[in-house]
Amino acid sequence: MNKSKTIVIVVVLGLIVSASLWYGQHNGLLPIAAANEADLYDSLFNSLLTIAVAIFLLVQGILIYSMIKFRRPKGDNTDGEPIHDNFLLEIIWTAVPTVLVIWVGIYSFDVYSVMQNGRPMSMGMGMPAMTHNHLGMEAAHADSLVSDSNIIESANTASNVKANVKTETDPLNIDVLGMQFAWIFSYPNTEIQTSELHVPLGREVKLNLSAADVIHAFWVPQFRLKQDTIPGMATSLQFTPNKLGTYPIVCAELCGPYHGGMRAEIFVETPEQYQAWLTQEQEDVANSRNDGAIASAPSPELSDGHTEFLHMQLTTQSQKMGVDLKSLESLHHLTSHT
């Protein structure tokens, strides 16, 4: 190989690497990140995208170059050079991807562990492992990533939390019931049942998920978190919201004809706003106890037709099952604590 050829190759590779590094950091493909878990996710995603873009450019570049450079001249019926293999090349393109995917595996494992709140994995645990995961085990292998994620939390947030939430270390438990085609959120130790989810900023939230009829999936794209809700099986999801705002809750598992309409909203509020909302809701519950209706504020994103539909669904569903939501809830408590 002559010198100028080497220079060209080095320059091209350099361009590919810098282009993919730049795109990996500036892709803008993801929605805003509104939870600590989402920030972790985004750095992993950007790294993987960087590698993917580099390989993409390399392969497509060689393909296009080959199509131009090695195109058969008209009338040339000869064959190409009979090269059958090249040991060094083959070792390289076996070893490099192997190292890359092992690195991806380790990095993903790390991020996943931290997303599971730095607790050790529940090796060999039973099926509803997500639930068993959090049985008070201390952060045994909390590594550097944990501190990273804490730094991301704004100082402002942290002080708010300290001022207003007494048991900061305990996650805020909320029960979530998925049913065709709505979400119902119950706040433990209160009688609040709503169709919208309110959580305070900066506090770890633990959702205890269950399903009334078929499988649904609870997904907040801005948190990068998703978990199926499965009838007869308790699952859970933990996250720490770190940006004020309203985000969609999307059902991501096909659950019937109106699957696309099964949406709700999560409101990430300051702890003060959250407390105010909680108080208000508790008063509402007390006032409307006679009606026996569940408090379900219409979600603003859906049109009137959809809201009506959801109300109708809630009523018909519970009638169809011959149970009211209260008994369903107690049922759920039984299953999730056994």
Partner 1 sequence: MTQVIVQAPSSESFEPNKSSDKGKWREYFSFSTDHKVIGIQYLVTTFFFYLIGGALASVIRAELATPDSDLVPPELYNGLFTIHGTVMIFLWIVPAVTGGFGNYLIPLMIGARDMAFPKLNAAAFWLIPPAGVLLISSFFYGPSSTGWTAYPPLSILTDQRVGQAVWIASIIILGTSSILAAVNFVVTILSMRMPGMGMFDMPLFCWSVLSASGLVLIATPVLAGAMILLGFDLLAGTAFFNPTGGGNPVVYQHLFWFYSHPAVYVMILPVFGIISEVLPVHSRKPIFGYKAIAYSSVIICVLGLVVWAHHMFTSGTPNWLRMFFMIATLLVAVPTGIKVFSWIATLWGGKLRLESPLLFAIGFISMFVVGGLSGVMLGSVPIDIHLHDTYFIVAHFHYVLFGGSVFGIYAGIYHWFPKMTGKMLNEFWGKVHFFLTFVGFNLCFLPMHLLGLQGMPRRVAQYDPQFASINVICTIGAFLLAISTFPFLFNAIFSWIRGEKATDNPWNGLTLEWTTSSPPIVENWHGDPVRRTGPYDYGMGLQDTEQPLAPTH
Site for partner 1 in 219-248 (CB under 8 A): 219, 221-222, 224-228, 230-233, 235, 248
Please say which residue, 148 or 284, places its beta carbon nearer to partner 1: 148
Instruction: Identify which range of 13-21, 192-200, 254-262, 310-318 contacts partner 1 by CB under 8 A.
Output: 254-262
Verify binding: residue 116, partner 1, rule CB under 8 A: yes
**Residue 256 touching partner 1 (CB under 8 A):** yes
- 86 lies in the site for partner 1, by CB under 8 A: yes
Q: Is residue 209 left, alpha or beta, with left meaning phi > 0 and alpha meaning psi from -120 to 50?
A: beta
CA–CA gap between residue 45 and residue 53 (Å, rounded): 12
Segment interacting with partner 1, rule: CB under 8 A, options 12-20, 92-100, 151-159, 273-281: 92-100
Q: Interface with partner 1 includes 300 (CB under 8 A)?
A: no
The residues near 204 (Cβ < 8 Å, ≥ 6 apart) are 117, 171, 172, 238, 239, 240
Alpha-carbon span 20 to 24, nearest angstrom: 6
Q: Which residues contact 176 (CB under 8 A, 6 or more apart)?
A: 183, 184, 185, 186, 197, 207, 208, 209, 210, 218, 229
Enumerate residues 6+ apart whose C-beta is below 8 A from 250: 219, 220, 221, 262, 263
Smaller CB distance to partner 1: residue 191 or 231? Answer: 231
Q: How far is the CB of 127 from partner 1 (least distance, A)?
A: 7
If one asks whether residue 81 binds partner 1 (CB under 8 A), the answer comes out as: yes
The torsion angles phi and psi of 257, rounded to 5 degrees, stand at -60, -35
> Which residue in 44, 174, 182, 266 binds partner 1 (CB under 8 A)?
44
Q: Between residues 136 and 292, which has the closer beta carbon with respect to partner 1?
A: 136
- What is the smallest separation between the CB atom of 124 and partner 1, expressed in angstroms? 7
Tell me: does residue 251 bind partner 1 (CB under 8 A).
Answer: yes
Residue 30 lies near partner 1 (rule: CB under 8 A): yes
Q: Report the nearest approach of partner 1 to the CB of residue 160 (Å).
A: 27
Q: Which stretch binds partner 1 (CB under 8 A): 187-195, 238-246, 249-257, 277-285?
A: 249-257
Residue with tokens 């002080």: 159
**Residue 94 sits in the site that holds partner 1 (CB under 8 A):** yes
Assess 75 for contact with partner 1 (CB under 8 A).
no
d(CA 160, CA 200): 10
Give the one residue of 72, 136, 144, 167 binding partner 1; rule: CB under 8 A. 72
Task: With H, G, I as helix, E, B as strand and everything else as coil, classify residue 168.
Answer: coil
3-state secondary structure of 175: strand
Residue 35 burial class via C-beta count within 10 angstroms: exposed 0-12, middle 13-18, buried 19 and up: buried
Query: Interface with partner 1 includes 295 (CB under 8 A)?
Result: no
Residue 184 CB, nearest approach to partner 1 (Å): 18
> Coil, strand or helix: which one is 139?
coil
By C-beta, is 165 or 251 nearer to partner 1? Answer: 251
Q: With respect to partner 1, which residue has the nearer C-beta, 107 or 277?
A: 107
191, 301 in Cβ contact below 8 A? Answer: no
Quick count: other Cβ atoms within 10 Å of Cβ 265?
19
Nearest to 115 by CA among 159, 149, 165, 153: 149
Q: Determine, following the binding rule CB under 8 A, whether residue 161 of this chain makes contact with partner 1.
A: no
As a whole number of Å, the CA-based R_g of the chain is 26
CB of 245 vs partner 1, minimal distance in Å: 14
108 binds partner 1 (CB under 8 A): yes
118 is a contact residue toward partner 1 (CB under 8 A): no
